[in-house]
Chains A and B, each alone.
Chain A
Amino acid sequence: MSYLCLENVVKTFNKTEVVKKMNLEIKKGELVSFLGPSGCGKTTTLNMIAGFLDVDGGSIVVDGKPVHLLPPNKREMGMVFQNYALFPHMTVFDNVAYGLKLRKVPKSEINQRVLEALEMVRLSGYEKRYPKELSGGQQQRVSLARALVIKPKVLLLDEPLSNLDAKLRQEMREEIVDIQKKVGITTIFVTHDQEEALAISDRIAVMYEGRIEQVDTPVAIYNHPQTDFVSRFIGEVNQIQGHVVETFSGNQCKVSFDGYHQVLSCPGTKDTLIDFYLRPEKIQIYQEHSEGLRVRVERKMFLGAKTRYILQLKDQQFIADISNTVLNPDQIIEGQDVLAVWNPEELLATKK
């Protein structure tokens, strides 16, 4: 049963469709990330859900009721803004209490709920401060408490962490997920940081040019990208071309990568070329091995736990990321020939 439904949602600005017939179903209590490059329509979609923008087509349904014609103040969505958007003339307490006051909640209950919300975001004792007397991370927590205290139907977060420094960003994202799971609130989290999306999401909706390319769990998005864009956008990939030398029944082919023969399942016809994507961490290199793709180590870069090897095959370059516990980088000398080896199952077919 889906709790939040986007059905054929369209948004047009100046005759260009910025969001194109978008469909998405989110289950109750689920955390879904919108992930995509800048300008792909993440904020626009979120603003339509919150009611700050009108939809130009389609419908938005929450808990079985269409909401896309309601004004934002009637939708009961909790929004956390990128720049926090705290009311500068109100104390932390009044900021968090604002939504409750509008709902005419009795004073004693307001008091109790605000204090609980502030405790949840670990800001007890800051009630009397003004927003400008708080750090960025603290302001973001107030903003989260303010959104959650009204018990909204859906929590919407638009790049809530992008104004924080890297370390705080990681802490805050754990905290947000903790709170989200504890409250059990259906959440949309907009980000263009794929690591963030992979780390916290139940499912990720990868967006590109106003369309959702794929909605899936982080593992599925990473390991089984369904479109070329997703393959290239999530993580890093090498593009590699193989030559089909033989076909068998059941979509099995024998493919040659410059003499490195592998049998894999893909639809191919004899004597054609096929493009594949291959993630850098799926490649192993050996100085001696029974088979493999012969390449030259152009450069190696020590990256702490792993080393990145730039491999040259004719006029093409690959990258391979190999853990230093698997291969001691000192054994490999730049300029040396090695054999690159991978498991045929790791090859991601392109969709051309």
Chain B
Amino acid sequence: MRKVLPKACLNFFCILVYIFLAAPIVVVLLSSLTTTEYIVFPPKGITLRWYAELINHPEFMQSFTLSIMVALGTSVISTIIGTMASIAVVRYEFRGKTAVTQLIGSPLLIPSVVFGVALLQFFSWIGLAASPVALVIGHFILTIPFVMRLVVASLVGFDRSIELAAKNLGAGRLRVFFQITLPVIKSGVIAGAIFAFITSFDDLTVALFIVSTDVVTLPVRIYTYMQYQYDPIITSVSSIMILLTVILMVVIERILGVGKVFSSKN
């Protein structure tokens, strides 16, 4: 009896938090269905008109494609570098190991605005113009810490005797890595890749400093569009972004379980 009341309170509180977190998403999703010319919640009537309307806005499609490409590039590069770095950090002792770990983790500590300014200056200094490549560079620096967290977690507790067993059976170094090590830490690597993708795809702050008039990512496009117009196109584009992110989160959940991702030991 004594434990029932606190438990009920806790549940109630948790539900409140969930509602608080989910409400904006629900508002955006629902208001994208409105028949009115302006954004309103609750929506008046139900229509997919604002999704169809997107066809008349090729700049959104362009930005969407660009964002996807940048996110894919970021994901691939940060997964490769992040995985290799994780293996080095977990398995080897080398001079300056702590420094490297701190350096790689530092983007998590620096406000992204500061990071964006720094990148802007750096890129203009080395003469790198606004381009998908510049965006990928900015993003993978941001996402490597996430990849490393996930991959390191799957490497801790990795039983290295299976690698010895593979060698013993005749496998060379590369074979051991691709046939034994990688498949075993696969879940961490995939989760890292998806996280990197989402982070890059959703990023506004850093991209704002890098984009130019013809290289504009989707979040930046939405942001600038909103400064001049405020119609439900915004909500339909946002809904598409949300759905894509949710799908990817579900994929991670299927592979790993979100609980596992966040309870990483390091």
Contacts from A to B (Cβ < 8 Å): 50-52, 71-79, 81, 83, 85-89, 98-99, 102-103, 143, 146-147, 150
Contact = CB atoms under 8 A, between A and B. Distances in A.
B162 A86 contact: yes
Interface string B239-255: 00000000000000000
A156 B217 CA distance: 59
Interface residues of B, number: 18
B161 A85 contact: yes
A73 B183 contact: no
A150 B165 CA distance: 13
B108 interface: no
B184 A103 contact: no
A140 to B, nearest CB: 13
A78 B167 CA distance: 10
Q: Nearest 9 A-B pairs (CB), nearest first?
A: A99-B169, A85-B161, A85-B165, A102-B170, A72-B167, A79-B168, A89-B183, A85-B162, A73-B170
Interface in B40-98: none
Q: Interface centre among A51, A76, A98, A103, by most B CB within 10 Å?
A: A98
A103 B170 CA distance: 8
B156 to A, nearest CB: 15
B214 interface: no
Q: Interface centre among B168, B170, B172, by most A CB within 10 Å?
A: B168
B171 A73 contact: yes
Contacts of B161: 81, 83, 85
A81 B164 contact: yes
A49 to B, nearest CB: 11
Nearest to A150: B169
A51 B166 CA distance: 13
A102 B159 contact: no
Contact of A102 (B162, B169, B183, B186): B169
A150 B162 contact: no
Contacts of A143: 165
B180 interface: yes
B172 A87 contact: no
A270 B171 CA distance: 66
Given A81-B161, A85-B159, A102 B175 contact: yes
Contacts of A78: 168
A83 B165 CA distance: 11
A88 B184 contact: yes
B208 to A, nearest CB: 42
A71 B167 contact: yes
Given A75-B168, A102-B171, A102-B175, 11 more contacts: A50-B164, A73-B167, A77-B168, A78-B168, A86-B165, A87-B165, A98-B169, A98-B171, A102-B169, A146-B169, A150-B170
B201 to A, nearest CB: 30
Contacts of A51: 167-168
A346 to B, nearest CB: 44
Interface string B174-195: 0100011001101000000000
A149 to B, nearest CB: 9
A79 B164 contact: yes
Nearest to B170: A102
Contact of B180 (A75, A87, A103, A150): A87
A74 B180 CA distance: 18
Nearest to B176: A73
Nearest to B167: A72
A89 B165 contact: no
Given A81-B165, A88-B162, A99 B184 contact: no
A79 B180 CA distance: 17
